[in-house]
Amino acid sequence: MEQLIALRHQLHQHPELSGCEVDTAERICQFLEHYAPYQLLRNVGGHGVIAIYQGLQPGSTVLFRCDMDAVPVQEGNAFAYCSQRKGVAHSCGHDGHMAIVAGLAERFNHTPLQRGRVMLLFQPAEETGKGAALVVEHLRSHPELLPDYAIALHNQPQHSLGKVLLRRDAFAAASKGVIIELRGRQSHAAHPERGLNPAAATAQLLQQLLDMPAQGGYADFVLCTLVHVRLGDVAFGTSAGEATIMATLRAFDNADMQLLTQRCTNAVQQIASQQGLTHGIRFVEEFPATVNDPHLLQHLETLCSDHGWLHGHLPESNRWSEDFAHFGSLCPSLMFGLGAGEQHPELHTSTYDFPDALIERGADIMEALARRILA
């Protein structure tokens, strides 16, 4: 455990943003090399790393995935291993997730599986929603690497320390960012009639976006959150000629996300046409819903009961999103939560720090899952 805690602290000190995980990958590889993987693959889907451990007999493949990237947050902690990079910190706990999966290397090296194999994936660029899609693309192009099952976890503050958090159906929501541009024509503020100001269209569209979740026809929870609005320039003598609206769409059901997306697109087209404006709309940072396979979930629930691990089902899906969802298009997949403490600081905040006490529990759960699934 001391080695894993030391690894976690080292990773915490040297966080890297999405797509920039060069040093992180090197530190992980140096650690893994001590535990003689059958194969160690680098530059998977960017700066990703895969360590493969073979069982004594052929069988299925279980992939365990952790995320590598940090977030653009200035750390507010003062302990010895706090971030050495200004404005970047492991405030989502990905350093702890990496330590957990790295801990599996020692276990499967010391006590090999009876059959099958495990793949330990250290995935880049989770925060932008790009990393998993690139890794899945890489795996599809190398059929010998395709897993039969994929499993991941995420720590969750505001829940009892070490509690295993289960969820049937969607564990985390689908989400996407939408960027809307309305273009009219500037004029002098004294003669707005000589231009085409998109202010009225902007106001109308803002209200329609806020009202979309209440329109009905959805199977489950949906949400539209306005995150940014800009109209014209800061110039009292100029009537605006353009506007930008940014919002985040969320849904627990992928079909609901399609409906929400279509309604958003239709509203923009209709309002822009009515007001004589040109428009642009694009979607970014797209995450499908993370949907759990029921059989894998049953394996985990049984293990929790057998081992006496504190566990429970979440009353609703998490509203945040996870790009691990992309692995669901590849094979049956499972994501579960691990409580980080009821009073623990929230994710993506300046005082968050992954609890070292979760490393051994997370590795215990993942090892037990592999040995049960591959038995």
Single pTM value for the model: 0.92
Cα–Cα distance for residue pair 242/247, rounded to 1 Å: 17
pLDDT digits (tens, 9 = 90+) for 18-48: 999 999 999 999 999 999 999 999 999 999 9
Consecutive 10-residue averages of pLDDT for the chain (375 residues)? 96 97 98 97 97 97 98 96 97 98 98 97 94 96 97 98 96 97 98 97 98 95 98 96 98 97 98 97 95 98 98 96 96 98 96 98 98 96
pLDDT digits (tens, 9 = 90+) for 132-164: 999 999 999 999 999 999 999 999 999 999 999
What's the confidence (pLDDT) of residue 246? 98
Nearest-5° Cα angle at 225, 158 to 86: 60
Q: Beta strands 149-156 and 333-339: pairing type?
A: parallel
CATH 3.30.70.360 fits 174-287, yes or no: yes
Q: How many CB atoms lie within 10 A of CB 214?
A: 8
Q: Do 181 and 281 meet the contact criterion of CB atoms below 8 Å apart?
A: yes
Cα–Cα distance for residue pair 32/106, rounded to 1 Å: 8
Q: Which alpha helices (H) appear in the chain, and where do they start and end?
A: 2-13, 22-32, 94-110, 131-140, 199-211, 254-274, 294-307, 357-373
Where are the chain's structural domains?
Answer: 2-172+289-373, 174-287
Closest C-alpha among 38, 33, 102, 41 to residue 67:
102
Cα–Cα distance for residue pair 140/130, rounded to 1 Å: 16
Determine what percent of the chain falls in helix, strand and coil, rounding each to the nearest 5: 35, 30, 35
Q: Do 108 and 368 meet the contact criterion of CB atoms below 8 Å apart?
A: no
Fold of 2-172+289-373: Aminopeptidase (3.40.630)
